[in-house]
Structure 1
């Protein structure tokens, strides 16, 4: 993770002396934002995306002097919220908070997607990334990834792993595992996370791919064991947990969150919003909150995030094709 520079002081004296009071000038001239901004979150209240979205929105409200009101509109792998924002006025007062599913949906839904991801939703800021994880029920007989691979090869089609949807990054992580390990572990789909977690912690379905923020509470409570994370380097909040790539070279999957705006939103608003979000991500208090959750924030421009989304779309398109993932 790159070094994050210390934030600017925001006292009037320091700002005036350093010429840093400029961000407040557009507000004095009646420029954006003049009223509360609606942030449509594609995921349910209380989940990882919701928690991180609210951290950023609260900080933006403090910086810009207007509310950033979160509206949770989950459903259909994020497409309900994305469609609503794609059709909203492009005036900077409706934003989308979305996640990894956005880069899966173009290949998963194809022409059935009710909007064009690339054309209708403009990337503004990548708010966080977090590696995926593989969790197991503590009583499961395979205690390590090599033991799991060996067990799965001896028992093809007899071991189950859960996720909360077809084509989710958790599902794709399982398919990648099967491809690289030469195994056939079953994908068990749940409609909501609570039921899947209950069956994981009781051993009914002994494996589940998740992400670091979703894994931490369960490992801390002793309800699951994290077998591996899917990032390229050690995860500080999961000490001693190995990277999946140690056993399956090239294995790397992430979850990410980001802010998007409807196509046609004025470029000056997009630039201002990106600047403010970068400032939020550099704030030591925000860094501490995100780090404690196992989320990684880094500086990024409009162009950086656009390129990142393109790479993610290409990765998931390749995986959907190779694994023949379909929603019928």
Structure 2
């Protein structure tokens, strides 16, 4: 029986819930309230990994919550990228990806396990990385022009190491052959660090490397830089010409961006975007990226979506022209 006492208690309960509801909603909406994972679909030690770790440290400070980097390499970045495409879209699993895995792999692999557009919500571009054509110091060429002359004078192609079949390092080497008419023998490794180490050791004379994976070797004189891959000279190597200064029209500026699983709530995406922008604005972040030969690449989610769309078109042509296939 619903007595007057029951009625009074019922009204008190409703009144209490009404008073508490704003605080309950606020508690439920608070993001992040636990560890955020940044998935890097490449091995540790490369450009993407280094950038993600700089960002993770700053975001952890800003949020007051742990932000961890988890490397999930495999299939040229497909394994980690696909895992985020299938992850829960609550903002606690985010992808920090290189352009190579996001916009090049769909044309190299018959099956990647993800759709580069439909499976992700763009969060923000993060950084641009310097890429360089490096050589063992014993190679008798110190510039791109000298390398072209040397390659054309030899009956056998010069070997060039990459981080693996279909990686950005590999494709840039293919672009260089097409643009210059020289012949290079591609030697794939399991990661950029292994490729750089063998160039230092003299097993292979050439490689295309990101600045984070090669800058220590360059500074110590164990690798020499023949040219900068990017369209513009690098702040870290202001006296080194771009390859495009010798080979007209040549150039590529690799980028790195953050993505969330498709369908992530808009208010969570907005919070992440604001915090990423704040982190990239910090002088500490900019200084750390500069030591890696990288620079912040600030922009909106909409700008990242346009970059992905445009680069999908661009790299589809480059991959087709190169004839590169991984499976």
TM-score (norm 1): 0.87
Residue 299 of structure 1, CA deviation = 2.0
Q: CA deviation at 1:234?
A: 2.4
Contact 1:156 1:183 in 2 (8 A): no
SS in structure 2 at match of 1:126: strand
State yes or no: 1:74 paired with 2:57: no
Preserved contact between residue 201 and residue 224 of structure 1 (Cα < 8 Å): yes
Structure with max Cα Rg: 2
Say which SS state the counterpart of residue 117 (structure 2) adopts.
helix
Give, in whole Å, the separation in 1 of the partners of 2:280 and 2:140: 41
Within 2, Cα distance between the matches of 1:274 and 1:100? 19
Equivalent runs, 1:126-275 vs 2, <5 Å: 126-155=125-154, 157-275=156-274
User: After the TM superposition, which parts of structure 1 deviate over 6 Å for at least 4 consecutive aligned residues?
Assistant: 26-29
**C-alpha spacing 1:27/1:316, structure 2 compared with 1 (3 Å):** farther
Structure 1, unpaired ranges of 5+:
1-25
CA distance in 2, matches of 1:293, 1:27: 39
Aligned to 2:44: 45
Question: Counterpart in 2 of 1:88?
Answer: 87
Cα distance change on mapping 1:284 and 1:198 into 2, 3 Å? closer
Whole-angstrom distance in 2 between the partners of 1:267 and 1:157: 56
C-alpha distance in structure 2 between counterparts of 1:272 and 1:195, whole Å: 38
Query: Is 1:104 the counterpart of 2:107 in the alignment?
Result: no
Are the aligned partners of 2:47 and 2:211 in contact in 1 as well (CA < 8 Å)? no
Q: Is the 8 A contact 2:135 2:206 kept in 1?
A: yes
Q: How many residues align?
A: 302
* RMSD after superposition: 1.7
Cα deviation, residue 228, structure 1 = 0.7
Q: Distance in 2 between matches of 1:64 and 1:143?
A: 47
Structure 2 distance, partners of 1:181, 1:134, is 14
- Structure 2 unaligned blocks of 5 or more: 1-24
Q: Which residue of 1 aligns with 2:118?
A: 119
TM-fit CA distance, 1:75: 1.1
The answer on whether the counterparts of 1:281 and 1:299 sit within 8 Å (CA) in structure 2 is: yes
Q: Is the 8 A contact 1:27 1:34 kept in 2?
A: no
1:83 aligns to what SS in structure 2?
A: helix
Write out per-residue CA displacement over residues 217-272 of structure 1, whole angstroms, 9 at most, x where no aligned residue.
11111101001102232212113111111101111123222211001111221122
Q: Aligned pair in 2 of structure 1 residues 194, 236: CA closer, same or farther (>3 Å)?
A: closer
Alpha-carbon displacement from aligned partner over 1:130-184 (angstroms, at most 9, x marks no partner): 1321001111012211111112122254211110111111111111111111111
Partner of 2:35: 36
Instruction: Single out whichever of 64-73 and 176-185 deviates more from structure 2.
Output: 64-73
Q: TM-score, normalised by structure 2?
A: 0.87
Q: 2:290 aligned with 1:286, yes or no? A: no
Offset from partner CA, 1:286-312 (integer Å, 9 cap, x none) = 111111211111320000111112222
Contact 1:125 1:260 in 2 (8 A): yes
